[in-house]
Amino acid sequence: MTQIKIFDTTLRDGEQSPGVNLNQLEKLEIAKQLERLGVDVMEAGFPASSQGDFDAVQKIAQTITKSTVAALARANKNDIDRAWEAIKDAKKPRIHVFIATSPIHMQDKLKKSPEEVVLIAEEMVRYAKEKCTDVEFSAEDASRSELPFLAEIIEKVIAQGATVVNLPDTVGYTTPKEYGEMFKYMKEHVPNINKVDLSTHCHDDLGMALANSIAGVQNGATQVEGTINGIGERAGNVALEELAVTFEIRKDFYSFTTNFILNEIKRTSDIISKLTGMVVPGNKAIVGRNAFAHESGIHQDGVLKNAQTYEIITPALVGVTSNSLVLGKHSGRHAFKDKIVQLGFELSEDKVTEAFQNFKLLTDRKKEVTDDDLFVILMDIQTDVQTRSQYQLEAFQVHYHSTDVPTAHVTLTTPKGDTVSKQDVGNGSVEALYNTIEHLIEEKIELTDFTLSSIGKGKDALAEVHVNMNVNNQAVSGRATAQDVLEAAANAFINAINRAFVTMKK
Ligand SMILES: CC(=O)SCCNC(=O)CCNC(=O)[C@H](O)C(C)(C)COP(=O)(O)OP(=O)(O)OC[C@H]1O[C@@H](n2cnc3c(N)ncnc32)[C@H](O)[C@@H]1OP(=O)(O)O
Ligand SMILES: CC(C)C(=O)C(=O)O
C-alpha cells in the first residue's frame, strides 16, 4: 500500500465558495476537527487577503500540533512575508507559493512572459525557503500549461528548495487520462522530481475531480489536495472523504491508503456544513442524508436478508450512528457532561453551564432531544461568543393572516444596553421581521441568500437558518437554530449583523 498524504484546503479553497464567510472561532473549530480526522496538512488560509484571515491562520498555527499548517501566498514578497508571519509559530509550518503557468493565465492575467514567470517562481520559492523549510510550489492552471514549460519551471523550483510541487486542474477542465499523463510526463522529464512530493489539486467543474485525483496518484502523485464535502471555488474541489473511502472500500483494486480516521468523517462533514451554511445534498456520496437510506421494497428486502446486497459501505465506517434519543427533561449535569465528551466537544466549565441551560430550555419545548439537537447547541456555544455583547433579540411577535399584510413587532437590546422596539410590514412573515429589525438597527442591509433546513426529523425538529447579506456593503453571513422557524430567522439575521460589527471594529 502506498501512503497518500492528504492536504485539506477546506479553510482556504473551501472558504472561496460563494457566500462562505467564516470567523476566527469557526475556522479554529474546523481546524481542530480536521486534525482529529487525520489530515496530514491543512491549508489554514491566505493571510495576505485580509487581517481577519491572517488572525485566523495565526490562531490555527498556534493551536494545531499534529498536522502541518500551510498558508497560501502569491509569488510576491509581501504575500510570503504575511504567510510566514501568520504560521511561524506552528509546529510544522508550510508556505504555499503559487503562480500560473498556462499561456492564457500568463499572458492575459499576469501579463508576464513565460521567462518572467520562471524567474519570479524561482526567486519567490528561494525567498520562502529562507524563512520556512517546507515550501510548496503550485503551478496554477497546470493542466492547461505546455508540458515542456511545466517541466522546466518544476525543475527550477526544486533547485530552489521546493519540497512539494502541486499541479492543479484549476478550472476542472482535464480528463483522468490527460491528468495522469501530465504526472507521468513530469516523472519522466524532470530530473529531480523524486526529491519532492508531487500533488494533485482537482476542481469539479466537469464532475471529474475524484477520477482525476485518482489518475494523479496512479501516475506518481503522493499528495492529494481537496476539501471536505467538496466545497470550494465554483463547482468545488475533490471531496476528500470520497477519496479516502474509495481507497478503503476498493483496497482490492487500489493500492493506496490515507491517514484519515474514517469514523470522524461524518462529524467533520456536519461541522463544516453547519459553519459554512453549505447544506450537503441528500444524495451526496459518503455523507449525504440518503447515502445509507434504502427506500424501495426490493432493496429493503435485500438489505434485511444481507445488508451487503445493497450496502457497500457500513454507516459506522464513516461515523454515521443511529440518531438515538439521549438525554431528557430529567437528565442531570453529569450525564450531560458525559454526552459532551461522547459528541467530541471540549468545553470550559462556563460553556458547559451555558450549554446545559440551553439544553434544559429545549427539553421544556421538545419531547425528544437527540444527538443532532445537542450537537447544534454545543456548536453554537463553541463558536458564537464574539457576538454576545452586540444586538440581542428580546422579543418579537408576527401577525400573519392569509388576507392581511404580514406585520412584525420586534424588541432588541442594543450594544449600549438600550431596549428599542418597532413595528413594520413585509410581503411575508420573514420579510416583515427583517424589515423591522433593519429599521431598528438603521444600517444599510441587503439580504442576498436565505436557507432554511431542519435538524433531525418530525414536527418538533429544530429549524436552522443561514443567511448571507451585505451590511454597509460588507459581505457577511449569519446562522441560528431555534425550535421556531421565525425565531431562527430573526436570530440568524441579528447574528449576521453582529458579525459585521465585530469585523468592522477590527
Ligand atoms: C486558483 C486560486 O484559488 S488562487 C487563490 C484565490 N484566492 C483569493 O483570491 C483570495 C481572496 N483575494 C483577495 O483578497 C485579493 O484578491 C488579494 C488581497 C489577494 C489581492 O487583491 P488586489 O491587490 O486588490 O488584487 P486583485 O485581486 O484585484 O488582482 C490580483 C493581482 O495579483 C496578481 N496575481 C495573481 N496571481 C498571482 C500570483 N500567483 N503571483 C503573483 N501575482 C499574482 C494579478 O496579476 C493581479 O495583479 P495586478 O494588480 O498587477 O493586475
Ligand atoms: C492556488 C492553487 C493551488 C489553486 O487553488 C488552484 O489552482 O485551484
Measured in whole angstroms, the distance separating CA 216 from the mean position of its chain's CA atoms is 24
Q: Answer whether 420's CB lies under 8 Å from 444's CB.
A: no
Give distance in angstroms: CA of 203 to centre of ligand 2.
9
Instruction: Identify residue 84 by its one-letter amino acid code.
Output: W
3-state helix, strand, coil in the chain (%, to 5): 45, 20, 30
* Residue 201 marked in a binding site: yes
| DSSP states along 210-265 | HHHHHHHHHTT--EEEEBGGG--STT-B-BHHHHHHHHHHTTTT--EE----GGGH
Nearest partner of 224 among 211, 236, 207, 240, judged by Cα: 240
Residues 193, 162 contacting (CB under 8 angstroms): no
Partners of 32 in beta bridges: none
CA of 156 to the centre of ligand 1 (A): 23
Which portions of the chain are predicted below pLDDT 70? 322-326, 384-389, 502-506
Q: Are 77 and 85 in contact (CB under 8 A)?
A: no
What sign does the CA torsion over 162, 166, 170, 175 have? positive
Output the CATH code of domain 2-276: 3.20.20.70
Which residue minimizes the CA distance to atom 26 of ligand 1? Answer: 49
Q: Quick one: pLDDT at residue 376?
A: 86
Amino acid at 291: A
**Ligand 1 pocket: which residues have CB below 6 Å?**
13, 16, 46, 48-49, 74-76, 98-99, 109-110, 140, 170, 233
- Please give the distance, rounded to the nearest whole angstrom, from the Cα atom of residue 399 to the centre of ligand 1: 49
**Residue nearest to ligand 2 atom 8, measured at CA:** 170
CA distance 216 to 195: 17
Max Cα separation, the chain?
Answer: 77
Residue 86's SS3 state is helix
Residues in a beta bridge with 95: 71, 135
CB atoms < 10 A from the CB of 461, how many? 17
The dotted CATH code for 385-505 is 3.30.160.270
**What residue segments make up the domains of the chain, in order of their start?**
2-276, 325-383, 385-505
Closest CA to 8 of 33, 32, 41, 36: 41
CB 198 within 8 A of CB 173: no
CA-nearest of 299, 214, 288 to 250 is: 214
The pLDDT, as a whole number, for residue 387 is 56
C-alpha 296/C-alpha 300 separation (Å) is: 6
Collapsing DSSP states into helix, strand and coil, what is residue 318?
Answer: helix
Distance between first and last Cα of the chain: 49
Distance CA 200, CA 6 (A): 10
Nearest to 165 by CA among 180, 155, 178, 176: 155
Give the integer Cα–Cα distance in Å for 164 and 157: 10
Which atom of ligand 2 is nearest the CA belonging to 225? 3
What is the CA(13)–ligand 2 centre distance, in A?
8
**∠ CA(312), CA(318), CA(319), 5° rounding?**
130
Task: Spell out the alpha helix ranges (H) of 12-64.
Answer: 24-37, 51-63
CA distance 129 to 122: 11
What is the sign of the dihedral through the CA atoms of 292, 295, 296 and 301?
positive
Distance CA 178, CA 145 (A): 12
| Residue 74 bridge partners (DSSP) | 98
Taking CB atoms and a 6 Å cutoff, what residues make up the pocket around ligand 2?
13, 98, 138, 140, 166, 168, 170, 201
CB 203 within 8 A of CB 235: yes
Pocket probe for ligand 2: among 12, 136, 140, the residue whose CB has the most ligand atoms within 8 Å is: 140
Tell me the sheet residues that pair with 475. Answer: 470
CA–CA separation, 276 and 225 (whole Å): 19
Crossing angle of helices 333-342/349-365, nearest 10°?
100
Cell of 63: 493551536
- Determine the angle formed by the axes of helices 209-218 and 176-189, rounding to 10 degrees: 30
Are 178 and 146 contacting, i.e. CB atoms less than 8 angstroms apart? no
Q: Choose which residue among 201, 213, 224 to substitute to test ligand 2 binding: the one with the highest number of ligand atoms within 8 A of its C-beta.
A: 201
